[in-house]
Amino acid sequence: MNASLPGFPFFHYHQDQLYLEQVDIAALAAQYGTPLYVYSKAALLHAVSSYQQALAHTPSHLVCYAVKANSSLAILQTLAQAGCGFDIVSGGELQRVLTAGAKANTVVFSGVGKTRAEMHQALKAGIKCFNVESLQELDVLASVAKEAGTQAPVSLRINPDVDAKTHPYISTGLENNKFGIAYKQALAAYQHAASLPDLRIVGIDCHIGSQITEASPYLDTVNRLLALIQQIESHGIHLEHIDLGGGLGITYHDETPPTPTNLYQPLIERLHAHGLQSRELLVEPGRSIVGNAGALITQVLYLKPGAHKNFCIVDAAMNDLARPAMYEAYHEIVELKRHTDLPAAPYDVVGPVCESSDWLGYDRQLRVQAGDFLAVLSAGAYGMTMSSNYNSRTRAAEILVDGKSVHLIRKRETVTDLYAHEQLLP
Ligand code: LLP
């Protein structure tokens, strides 16, 4: 029997086995071991095209995928080939996107703490622009550009002081967040930038948070930006592009975020109404490109019934997927094989790491026995990139599925990889 997984269109059950595109995931788990990250290429391309369609009626636009969500080279390569630019936050991410085949002039560099070395690296590569987040950063960037004998393209990240209505740890557009230049200082910051001959002002940007499931914070932000843009341009400073950041949420459980078209259509209309339709429009989505394209596959090691709770102890842990421990995030957990003969029971799904915060899901109804495999869904974004080696656990392998084809895109780490840079005392 075939059955789709509601909310996860690239996963489906075929004869009670979970498939990703045309691949039986249990066969991958058996061949490559667990914990294992699996991604669907079709899901990545579908997500990119939904952004490209949403922006299709603007004269020029660029979808700058936020690399921090998932920076595996083959993922970046797939997105570069699909026409994405990139939003990076470190010299390391710059090196990754260039290695994956990105064109430097499609890269925007965000982040509050860029170092001089990173600025030099990015200027040398020829990136599209620096999203500058403070007045001091403007001065340092100007001095680095002077040293390099070039002009640095800059956009100022404005903190619009709007509530993104998301988890406080992933909210970034409020006045008390460390991000961006305060709305009230923005005009003065642009005037200062314009006075520095080693900088070239190219745009304006903002990013108000992540896993945003409503359109209204974006509308508030655009309204605030429009007023500011008019002010800035009335001082003779021209902005070639407007970057609306990322942050669009995905379905983890029962969230119903807007589609890119539903989100951006009204925003684009607002730009039109203000005569700004000719400006290049940039967006920086991360989670909504990769989140639901991936899952973390894990094997049940032990079932441990308790007086108050049953534990399902699996071989993936908080070092593989930190989101539940860090944000109390919900990820759907499903069986790779649907047992019709086992009774369903409630379990806390936990990992082997020695911390009580090492859990992947609380109180889940599962039909499982030791040795079975589970899929932790929506794990494509902020899964592998936030993984660690805590408890000397090796990082998982990663697979990209493309129709019937299976590509190993990252080998499982070995323990000797973990201490390769360490030294014993003489
Ligand atoms: N642009 C900037 C400047 C950002 O800081 C971020 C994310 C994005 C774009 C992409 O946002 P997205 O479209 O992925 O929501 N680790 C957290 C999420 C942290 C997001 C940080 N900034 C989590 O696992 O939920």
Does residue 425 lie within any of the structural domains?
A: no
Specify the residue with its C-alpha closest to ligand 1, atom 19.
Answer: 170
Q: Is the pLDDT of residue 3 over 90?
A: no
Q: Are residues 347 and 270 both part of a single domain?
A: no
Q: Report the CATH number at residue 249.
A: 3.20.20.10
Distance 421 CA to ligand 1 centre (A): 30
Q: Is the pLDDT of residue 2 over 80?
A: no
Does residue 400 lie within any of the structural domains?
A: yes
Determine whether the shortest distance from the Cβ of 69 to ligand 1 is under 6 A: yes
133 annotated ligand-binding residue: no
364 annotated ligand-binding residue: no
Q: Which ligand 1 atom lies nearest to the CA of residue 205?
A: 3
Of 6-10, 19-23, 62-66, the least confident: 6-10
Peptide bond into 346 cis (omega under 30): no
Predicted confidence band at 289 (pLDDT cuts at 50, 70, 90)? Answer: very high
Q: Are residues 149 and 255 both part of a single domain?
A: yes
Q: Are residues 282 and 383 both part of a single domain?
A: no
275 annotated ligand-binding residue: no
Distant-in-sequence, close-in-space partners of 214: CB < 8 Å, separation ≥ 6: 165, 257, 258
The last residue of a domain, from among 286, 320, 346 = 286
Q: What pLDDT was estimated at residue 177?
A: 76
Which residues form the domain of 382? 11-33+293-418
Chain segment 239-278, per-residue pLDDT in tens: 999 999 999 999 999 999 999 999 999 999 999 999 999 9
Average pLDDT over residues 14-31: 98
Average pLDDT over residues 314-335: 98
Q: Is the pLDDT of residue 87 over 80?
A: yes
Q: Are residues 196 and 102 both part of a single domain?
A: yes
The last residue of a domain, from among 286, 316, 337 = 286
Determine whether the shortest distance from the Cβ of 211 to ligand 1 is under 6 A: yes
Q: Are residues 330 and 262 both part of a single domain?
A: no
Determine whether the shortest distance from the Cβ of 111 to ligand 1 is under 6 A: no
Q: Give the separation between CA 328 and CA 322, rounded to whole angstroms.
A: 9
Q: What pLDDT was estimated at residue 171?
A: 67
Structural domain count of the chain: 2
Determine whether the shortest distance from the Cβ of 393 to ligand 1 is under 6 A: no
Sign of CA dihedral 45, 213, 327, 181: positive
Mutate to test the pocket of ligand 1, among 68, 159, 169, 243 (most ligand atoms within 8 A of CB): 68
Long-range contacts of 272-275 (CB under 8 A, 24+ apart): 274/226, 274/229, 274/230
Chain segment 24-33, per-residue pLDDT in tens: 999 999 999 9
Determine whether the shortest distance from the Cβ of 224 to ligand 1 is under 6 A: no
398 annotated ligand-binding residue: no
Distant-in-sequence, close-in-space partners of 49: CB < 8 Å, separation ≥ 6: 82
Mutate to test the pocket of ligand 1, among 287, 331, 360, 385 (most ligand atoms within 8 A of CB): 287
Does residue 4 lie within any of the structural domains?
A: no
Q: Are residues 219 and 112 both part of a single domain?
A: yes
Provide, rounded to the nearest whole percent, the portion of the chain with pLDDT above 90: 92
Q: What pLDDT was estimated at residue 209?
A: 93
The last residue of a domain, from among 270, 286, 302 = 286
Does residue 74 lie within any of the structural domains?
A: yes
Specify the residue with its C-alpha closest to ligand 1, atom 23.
Answer: 382
Q: Are residues 376 and 393 both part of a single domain?
A: yes
Catalytic annotation present for 312: no
Distance 131 CA to ligand 1 centre (A): 15
Does residue 5 lie within any of the structural domains?
A: no
Determine whether the shortest distance from the Cβ of 247 to ligand 1 is under 6 A: yes
Average pLDDT over residues 5-22: 95
Predicted confidence band at 4 (pLDDT cuts at 50, 70, 90)? Answer: confident
Q: Which ligand 1 atom lies nearest to the CA of residue 247?
A: 15
Q: Are residues 129 and 266 both part of a single domain?
A: yes
Does residue 230 lie within any of the structural domains?
A: yes
Q: Are residues 53 and 78 both part of a single domain?
A: yes
Catalytic one among 64, 84, 129, 354?
A: 354
Q: Is the pLDDT of residue 98 over 90?
A: yes
Q: Give the separation between CA 206 and CA 183, rounded to whole angstroms.
A: 10
Distances in whole angstroms, Cα of residue 162 to Cα of each of 66, 103, 173, 208: 21, 33, 6, 7
**Which tokens sit at 57?**
């009626």
Chain segment 389-424, per-residue pLDDT in tens: 999 999 999 999 999 999 999 999 999 999 999 999
Residue 11, φ and ψ in degrees, nearest 5: -105, 140
390 annotated ligand-binding residue: no
Q: Report the CATH number at residue 333.
A: 2.40.37.10
Q: Are residues 125 and 225 both part of a single domain?
A: yes
286 annotated ligand-binding residue: yes
Distance 66 CA to ligand 1 centre (A): 7
Average pLDDT over residues 85-92: 98
CB atoms within 10 A of CB 392: 9
The residue among 57, 73, 28 whose CA lies nearest residue 384 is 73
Q: Are residues 184 and 329 both part of a single domain?
A: no
Does residue 355 lie within any of the structural domains?
A: yes
Distance 284 CA to ligand 1 centre (A): 9
Distance 169 CA to ligand 1 centre (A): 10
Q: Are residues 297 and 272 both part of a single domain?
A: no
Question: Whole-model pTM above 0.85?
Answer: yes
**Which tokens sit at 227?**
């007023």
Determine whether the shortest distance from the Cβ of 28 to ligand 1 is under 6 A: no
Does residue 109 lie within any of the structural domains?
A: yes
